[in-house]
Each structure stands twice: as structure tokens, then as C-alpha cells.
Amino acid sequence: MSLAGKVLFITGASRGIGKAIAIRAAQDGASVAIAAKTADPNPKLPGTIFSAAKEIEAAGGKALPIQCDIRDEKQVQAALEKTVAKFGKIDIVINNASAISLTPTEKTDVKRYDLMHSINGRGTWLVSKLALPYLKKSDNAHILNLCPPLSMEEKWFAPFPAYTIAKYNMSLCVLGMAGEFRQYGIAVNGLWPLTMVETAALKIAADGMEERKSRKVEIMSDAAHIILTKNAREFSGNFCLDELLLRKHGVTDFE
């Protein structure tokens, strides 16, 4: 149950859940490539690829900060090549990068709609596609998408259809690629919070939500660690909810 010696490629890992997953892996001694856009500090969204790298190394891992826009094929390919040049391989891909707009149809700008779909769905597909040749060489390869379980109920779509559809594109990648990549022994799974998780981006999107109603990002990184340490040939095509997965593995204290 360790990620020691593993190499992770994580999109959007300069802050939030992506960074938390990176730090948890670093505590095992893993190496992490941080592929994210933020290289300069932003007053609204704290954290950069460089500050995240420092935290990862302080936790016991190795870090490679890479400024990368996952909408750009050439940038993604270059980021993957830099990771392999630095660490020699890629064992795990975490598709964490997402754009969010919790708005109804009338209040969703077309530009924002396009952004969510180009990052969430297309970006996840592109990173997974280009990482495939490297993952094929790993002895326990995983792709983990931060996406919701597929459930065709009106209640999940009605509040903010554009965002839900964009996230479901990531979920559809899990469904399709789990079957497609099974022949290579590559696991593809999804992870989603059972309850709201506190992140800087969500605070902005939810317009001042109450922090007391939100859990810390570590619940997601602990759940991700369980998934990523499983046998890739035996655990694939699953949509996991953080608390339920942790309870199944003996965690009872969620304070």
C-alpha cells in the first residue's frame, strides 16, 4: 500500500485536490510532475506550480513543476516528455484540472461553456491519449479522473447543465477507456466527493459558501491513495465516492 518509486503526472496540481493528492503520494516517496497553468501568484487563487513543488518536496517526494495548458496538444506532449526525461517513466495520470461555473443556462457565458468543455472533457481525453505510450510500460498503471458517477437523473443536471455536462465528459472517459485500456493492464477510475470539499476555486464559484459545510481536501487525497495502490488489473472502471471508499477500507473518523 505504497506509492514509493512511482511517478505521477497530475494536471491542475498547483492547488486544491490535485496538490493534496500529490503531497499524499510524496509522503510515500513518489515523484510528481505538476502540470498546471499557474506560474505567477494570483491573489484570488493562491498557489503556483513552484509553491506546490516546494510542498511536495517538503513532504518527502520529488517534484517537477511544468507550466502547461492542457488544451494545447504540443504543450501536453512536451510536459509528458519532460516528465520522462526527469524521472524515467510515468506510472499514474491524475486528470484533475477543471474549469467550473455553477450557473444556470441563462447566466452561463458561451465563452465559459467552451472553456469548461475544452479543459474538462477534451483536456482529460487529450492527456490520457498522449500519456498512453508511457503508461503501457508501467507495471501498475493508473488513470484517475476527478469526475462524478454517471447518473442520468434530472436533479444532477438542472442546477447548472453546462458544468455537469462538462464533468460527465470526464466520466465518459472513465467508462470508455477502462474497457479500451484493460488489454494493457491500465486501470481507469473516477473519484468524486460525497459531500462538498473546500477548494479556492469552488469558493469563488459558489460565491462565498460556508466553510463549515465543506470537508478538507485530504479526504480526497486519502481516497485517491487507496485507488492508486490497488492492482490495476483488478480494479478498473469504478466510480468511487471518497467517504464510501474510505469506510469500506476501515476509516471511521471523519472529523
Residue numbers annotated as active site: 163
Which triple of cell numbers denotes residue 151? Answer: 447518473
* Rounded-to-5 percentages of helix, strand, coil across the chain: 45, 15, 40
DSSP 3-state assignment of 129? helix
Helix (H) or strand (E) holding 188: strand 187-192
Q: Where are the beta strands (DSSP E) in 193-255?
A: 239-241
Contact between residue 113 and residue 163 where contact means Cβ atoms under 8 Å apart: no
Residue 87 zone, left/alpha/beta (φ > 0; ψ -120 to 50; rest): alpha
Counted residue by residue, the chain has a size of 255
Which triple of cell numbers denotes residue 89? Answer: 517513466
Please report the DSSP string for 27-71 in residue order: TTT-EEEEEES--S--SSS---HHHHHHHHHHTT-EEEEEE--TT
> How many angstroms from the chain centroid is the CA of residue 223?
12
